Structures are given as C-alpha cells and as structure tokens.
Amino acid sequence: MYLCIIYKVYLDYVTQISHLIILYRAIIIVFLITIGTLSICIYENFMLINYYY
C-alpha cells in the first residue's frame, strides 16, 4: 500500500517534469523561429535599402 502511494507520487512528479520540458522546448522553438524570421526580414530590408541608395 505504502509503495503504491510512493509510486503514484513519483509518476505524478515525472509527468509534471515532462510537461515542463515539453513546454520549455515549445517556447524555445517558437523563440528561435521568431528570431530567424525577424533576422531574415531585417536582412532583406537592409539589402533593399543598400540596393536603392
């Protein structure tokens, strides 16, 4: 009985951690995609400005 309670608490803990890891991964991926698209836009605008002037 006692072992079952410990096991359940452990499982809850592991699932919470895995959810946090998935959340952090999603945030990092979105962050990288945003930075990538922003840098591409800035680079293209910079090239256009240099091209016209």
- pLDDT-derived band at 53 (thresholds 50, 70, 90) equals low
* DSSP characters over 1-24: -HHHHHHHHHHHHHHHHHHHHHHH
N residues, the chain:
53
Q: Label residue 28 left, alpha or beta by phi (over 0 means left) and psi (-120 to 50 means alpha).
A: alpha
Tens of pLDDT, residue by residue over 5-33, are 888 888 888 888 888 888 889 999 999 99
* Integer CA distances (angstroms), 31 to 15, 16, 17, 35, 44, in order: 24, 22, 21, 6, 20
Q: What is the pTM of this model?
A: 0.52
